[in-house]
Structure 1
Amino acid sequence: MGRFESKHYWIGRLLASDPGRTRFRKAGKATISLMSSVFTTLLVLYLLGINLLTPAIVAAMTGMMGIMLVNDDTNEEKKVTTGLLAVAAACGITSGSLLSSNPYFIDILMILIIVSAFYFSRYRTGYFSIFNIGFITVYISSVLQIPVGQLPLFYMGIFIGVSYAFLYNFIIFKDTPQTLKRSMRSFHIQCNLTLEILVEVIQDPEISQKRINHLNNNVRKIRDYGRTVSVDLNAEDIRAIWPGLKVSQLRLYVFDTGMLIETLTESINSLKKADALEVEELRRLLVWVIKSIREARMLVPSYDWRNLEEAEIAVQGLRLAIKDLLNGEEKPKGWVFLIRRIESIANHVIESGFSMQQALHKGAASLVAHEEADINDDDDNDNEDKFNQSTKKSVQALVAGIISIIVGGFISPNRPYWVILTAFVVLLGTQSVGRTYKKGFERSLGSIIGAVLGFGLAKLISGHSAIELTLLFIVVFLAFYMVTVSYTIMSMFITMLLAFMYDLLLGGITIQLIGARVMDTIAGALIALLVSSVIFPKKTTDKVADTFGEFLEELEPYVMDYLRSFREEVSVKGLAHNAFLMDEKLQVIEDEAKPILNRHETIVRANISRRITILTAINYYAKHLVASSYRGNFELSAEIKETFIEIEKKTEHNIITLRKLIKGTERTGIIYNLKEEREQIERLAPSRIKSHRDLIHHLYYVWRINQSILTLGKELGAVEK
């Protein structure tokens, strides 16, 4: 990290806030595509001597949605979907125009499109995008009542919009390896900013709760950035930027670095509370280690052992201090194990750095090897769940569509379709009643705020088309930039966009008009909530239980592979990928549980909160299995190997039992406490000095994981054995 970024914290935070500039790029592409489509279509219409604005609006919408809606898995699929968007938009415009005289046909068509969007998404993600743009164009065409004679002009606008979307998405602003490089830079900036705060915490004789909270927030951001980088990692981009590196090497480095900072944060907080940092030498060594790792150049293209020399010497100094504490005449302090954890993980980061430097030095020619196959999470059960979910959603959409058409006719007889659009959007991506309520509330709140701001601004600048058009483009960019940050803020900007568009298209905006759109939004959200509560309802507690089970399904092979690595040839390094997957599952649990956790004190809230706390602890311990492990095989006696086999069997049984208890398929069961196996290991394991490999230390987090499983299992009705 540069000195300027280090000295100016908020500038560094700003530079790191959008890993890979993904949100900026997508919002920017959508806005530029919209602007290009509008101005090109207006230019063509002007040259043709046609004074008509609506084809340009359709072109803008198509160009924008051609960027935002295309989310297929591969680049080739995205290109196909982009092309099909033009076909779907043209069909929508034509259908809306031909059927606009008969509102009942429009109602039926819109409901069929919405149901099809949910149903056919079971086969391919692109189908949802295709039907989505079809719905929007039918809506626009029916509201504007486009004459059949003007359809060629709208076809032209659609073609222009899709062409610009294709141009910006796949030619001019196509994804490049630089996206990964920028993601890594954001990750490094965030890590270095957090390390700077850690140094301040160590050097400050007082414990500042404000600084501790600030530190914990930064650690959470590092966890999020690490997941983002892990998703961006692919062999092709890595070869283009860092020839010679493999995906597994870079993923392990990201994992180790994140775990080092997480461990430093927790350990230093504990050391301060234990007054251990009053020892000046210990403070000096910890600051030395942190600063040397912060300044180390891990991914420079040219190999130079001096890039990591200072960090390696600092870690060696900490290791010698630990040895003195363990071998001294006095009994080692209880906090010594915290220093050992820091030394162990810091050493792994240095090892990862040396490994990457050597790989970069040797180059792609000698080190490009077969990458580990990515774990395929899509099994038959996942596909079956996806099919069932899409079918249920399509039925919900059918019922919600019918109700929305009826309600919309009462609220806005002239424009009854905004209600169905809102219900459609709120149902999208929500699999529980609680999430539907949360999304509906956020959209309604954002719409109310956006209506007030949009109406006020539109009235203030009404008649100044250039200013209004400029603000419209800015609002579009901000809406898409904030879509993954805050759904409320995104909804606010979307409503402001509507206010500007109404003012431009209708020559003025009234409080009744913008108020009607807010009422439509609230009605659509309520209908979506009602339908999700009655038709195939999925209680929030049931959904949370499902996500708990998914986390444990990821945990089981992770822990079992780690245990087997002590007696078999199993690479622990490969588990870093699984650790990121478990992080993602834990984030899903927290997201699904938010509607419950936001309630006032209830028994259900307290139970869910405690379970999440225990799973968070399990996730933390599980990550330490990889981060602090010895990456090599132990030489174990036959007796210890037999003990390990028992540990593996009982641990697997415990995880499976807990999963059944959480899902409710069983009401009771047996969970083993592993006390006997732990005593055997501690009795039979060779001493640390003799073996140089502390077996007891490497199993510490296995016992912690099992104890957490036992605690949660007993609360759910299991019996300890």
Structure 2
Amino acid sequence: MASDPGFVRLRLASRVTLTGLLVLGALMLLHVFSVGLSPAAFSAGLLFAIQGVVAIRETSASDRVQTRLLAGAAGFAMLALCAHLQPHPRVVDGLFLVTAFTAVFIRRWGQRWTAVGMFAFMASFGGAYFRPSPTDLPGILLAILVTGAAAHVVREILLPDRPLGDLRRALAGADHRVGRVAALVGEAARVGWTARRERRVRAAHRGVRDALDVVETLLPDEPQRGPAPPGAAPLAIELFDLNLALESVLAEALEPAGDSDEARQHLSISLRRLAGLRRRLRKASAALTEADFTSAPASPAASTPATAASIWTDEPTRLAIQVTLACALAMAGGMWLSVDRWFWAVLTAFLVFTNVQSRGDTALRGLNRAGGTAVGIAAGMVLATLMHGQFGPSLALCVLFTFLAFFFLQVSYGTMTFFLTVTLSLVYGLLGNFSPELLILRLEETVIGTASGILVSFLIFPQRTSDTAGRAVTAFLTDLDRLLQAIEERLDGHGSEWRIYAVSRALDRRHAAILVASRPLGRTWPSGARQRSVRIGRLRFAVIAHWAHRLAAASIGPVADAEGLRRELERCRSAVAGVSVPGFFERSTSLPRPVPDRGDGAVARDELDPILAARAIAHTLAQLLPGERDDAGAKLAESTGSA
């Protein structure tokens, strides 16, 4: 639970592995005792087994069944087209590109059509690679039906989602990680801080943030109407408090004056308070019931189709064109290298555009795939040679490495690619097709696909990473303004505590989106000054998010000076409106100036000062106002110190 809160990664990897084993076993039985199945049928079954777990993500069982049926039908239709068009290989190649465009374009309509597009594309890949004939179609249809049934049984019966148990496990994992941070801080306070201990504490704190991100995804959604779920509101309060207390502990432990007796006394108080909050969080977790997860969640806003005037600037259309051109370029390069194995290049070109936001993201994903493939081929050659002629151990290793690949899918794309490449090497050995030349060819095709994807992302409709990060900054500031507005409504008697919690959670997601969008900016190829600017910009948002948490937590109860808080909120909203977003990370060259505190960093939640928190947000934002940073920051700091 400490390494995988909520067992999210464990469940995903187990579902993929178990579904694959069930499908493979069922198809082998059918092949031996009933009907002979073609390689295309086996490939369709195993490809759809993986996609049936990874791509189908609806929250309700009925929605998942409908998506599974639609996706299976789309996949079979694509394989049937490939089978009937086999006498015309160039038409099949063109169909491959049309499918790639369509699969990306229909993502605009949500998770269901994203899954349908992935099934169709993987079916076109299998059709082009295994070249089924029309006589293979009954067996392919049977394999797809078996796969759908197996995936449904695993997803809904053998390994279903259990929201209450999952959330409790995630909370226990987060609690364990918080305890580790507290233990490391306490040890360092006793024996002295070193650079190594500070790195361990910061790494452990990142683990806490990751665990809290998992908890956030498992919390009940904001209801469309009515009160919040009965146990969710107290739990949200405790999570607010725990996060704030942990940040206070770290701030006090790592500040320059942390070696004084007074600082050690404050740190001791904060650690005791943190321990008390952990106990309260466990009680809130134990108080959760199934009723907390039966409220109707807020329905997502319907997607608006792009108009003719905006079609060329529409994100799904732009990405679909990029993917299609990258696949076409990879197809040409792959055919030049091998007329029989060019499909790996096209598959790589398609996948490097999955879950990316900018050209920097595409480059990182492509390099991770190429690197994982290269290392996996080296390891695969060794293992396939050692396991030659040993069917049982080779099959067991295939199962193990498939599990590990999808266990690390959400952590490292390169690691996932490594394990899948090793698995493929062992599969080639089991089929008697293994050769070092074949694996080297796969690496070369992967490099061609990676280069095609990166080249297109930089030359065709390029999305600069800084522009993507700027949009993430805009979204963060928008939700920050929504939080300030929700607090104002609360002061006027029109808002609710749950609304403040919900918007605060949305703000956390926006903060995480900024970290993801700006990640390529902090990599090794920019200059040192650019990297420092990116780090400072990310730190500034961490400061704002911290004070936003404190402001939200202090505003859910009675406020002593409502008028004073309302004035500070207006000042904050004015500062939000005045921030210039373009080039934000290039201009973040000075560290955020600290706000004079009143010494209440370790006090209880009901003693938190919302006015101080609002002033801290305005103070940090004022450092970003064009032409007013120094004057505005000085005025805010002066007003805070005199309050």
Is 1:194 matched up with 2:181?
A: yes
Q: Distance in 1 between matches of 2:212 and 2:423?
A: 34
> Which AA in structure 2 matches 1:152?
P
Matches within 5 A, 1:568-647: 568=493, 570-571=495-496, 574-598=499-523, 599-628=525-554, 631-634=557-560, 641=563, 646-647=567-568
Q: Distance in 2 between matches of 1:719 and 1:236?
A: 40
Could you say what secondary structure the match of 1:443 adopts?
Answer: helix
Equivalence for 1:522:
447
Matches within 5 A, 1:557-568: 557-562=482-487, 565=490, 568=493
Structure 1 pair 249/705, CA: closer, same or farther in 2 (3 Å)? same
Q: CA deviation at 1:561?
A: 3.5
Equivalence for 2:199:
213
Q: Distance in 2 between matches of 1:454 and 1:574?
A: 52
Equivalence for 2:249:
264
Q: Distance in 1 between matches of 2:569 and 2:539?
A: 25
Is 1:477 matched up with 2:403?
A: yes
Equivalence for 2:427:
501
Q: Distance in 1 between matches of 2:74 and 2:625?
A: 52
Structure 1 pair 271/426, CA: closer, same or farther in 2 (3 Å)? closer
Q: Which structure has the bigger radius of gyration? A: 1
Query: How many pairs does the alignment contain?
Result: 608
Is 1:78 matched up with 2:64?
A: yes
| CA-to-aligned-CA distance 1:323-357 (integer Å, 9 cap, x gap) | xxxxxxxxxxxxxxxxxxxxxxxxxxxxxx6xx88
Could you say what secondary structure the match of 2:109 adopts?
Answer: coil
Matches within 5 A, 1:143-222: 143-176=129-162, 177-202=164-189, 204-222=190-208
Q: Distance in 2 between matches of 1:57 and 1:68?
A: 17
Equivalence for 1:323:
none
Q: CA deviation at 1:567?
A: 6.1
Q: CA deviation at 1:538?
A: 0.9
Q: CA deviation at 1:570?
A: 4.5
Q: Distance in 1 between matches of 2:245 and 2:118?
A: 45
| CA-to-aligned-CA distance 1:129-185 (integer Å, 9 cap, x gap) | 223222222322332233332332222222111110011112222211322222222
Task: Give TM-score, length-normalised by structure 2.
Answer: 0.85
Structure 1 pair 135/716, CA: closer, same or farther in 2 (3 Å)? farther
Q: CA deviation at 1:410?
A: 0.2
Please, which moves more after superposition, 63-72 or 145-154? 145-154
Is 1:248 matched up with 2:233?
A: yes
Q: Is the 8 A contact 1:454 1:496 kept in 2?
A: yes
Matches within 5 A, 1:340-419: 378=301, 388-419=314-345
Structure 1 pair 694/279, CA: closer, same or farther in 2 (3 Å)? closer
Please, which moves more after superposition, 435-444 or 711-720? 711-720
> Which AA in structure 2 matches 1:183?
A
> Could you tell me which of 612, 616, 620 is aligned with 1:704?
616
Q: CA deviation at 1:244?
A: 8.3
Q: Is the 8 A contact 1:447 1:492 kept in 2?
A: yes
Matches within 5 A, 1:654-669: 654-658=575-579, 661-663=580-582
> Which AA in structure 2 matches 1:247?
A
Q: Distance in 1 between matches of 2:305 and 2:165?
A: 33
Structure 1 pair 585/129, CA: closer, same or farther in 2 (3 Å)? same
Is 1:67 matched up with 2:50?
A: no
Could you say what secondary structure the match of 1:509 adopts?
Answer: coil
Structure 1 pair 565/124, CA: closer, same or farther in 2 (3 Å)? closer
Q: Is the 8 A contact 2:23 2:150 kept in 1?
A: yes
Task: Give TM-score, length-normalised by structure 1.
Answer: 0.76
| CA-to-aligned-CA distance 1:31-69 (integer Å, 9 cap, x gap) | 111011111111121113748665334322222221112
Structure 1 pair 634/85, CA: closer, same or farther in 2 (3 Å)? same
Q: Distance in 1 between matches of 2:293 and 2:411?
A: 38
Q: CA deviation at 1:513?
A: 1.1
Matches within 5 A, 1:64-143: 64-143=50-129
Q: Distance in 2 between matches of 1:233 and 1:128?
A: 24
Q: CA deviation at 1:255?
A: 2.4
Q: Distance in 2 between matches of 1:410 and 1:702?
A: 62
Identity %: 19
Cα RMSD after superposing both structures? 3.6
Q: Is the 8 A contact 2:373 2:421 kept in 1?
A: yes
Unaligned 5+ segments in structure 2 are 588-594, 599-604, 636-643
Equivalence for 1:276:
261
Q: CA deviation at 1:382?
A: 11
Q: Distance in 1 between matches of 2:145 and 2:353?
A: 30
Unaligned 5+ segments in structure 1 are 1-14, 238-242, 301-352, 669-677, 683-691
Q: CA deviation at 1:662?
A: 0.9
| CA-to-aligned-CA distance 1:595-635 (integer Å, 9 cap, x gap) | 22113425544433332222221112211213455721326
> Which AA in structure 2 matches 1:424?
F
| CA-to-aligned-CA distance 1:347-396 (integer Å, 9 cap, x gap) | xxxxxx6xx88x77xx999xx8997x967774888999999211111111
Could you say what secondary structure the match of 2:434 adopts?
Answer: coil
Q: Distance in 2 between matches of 1:443 and 1:106?
A: 26
Could you say what secondary structure the match of 1:175 adopts?
Answer: coil
> Which AA in structure 2 matches 1:254?
L
Is 1:16 matched up with 2:5?
A: no
Structure 1 pair 112/539, CA: closer, same or farther in 2 (3 Å)? same
Could you say what secondary structure the match of 1:483 adopts?
Answer: coil
Is 1:649 matched up with 2:570?
A: yes
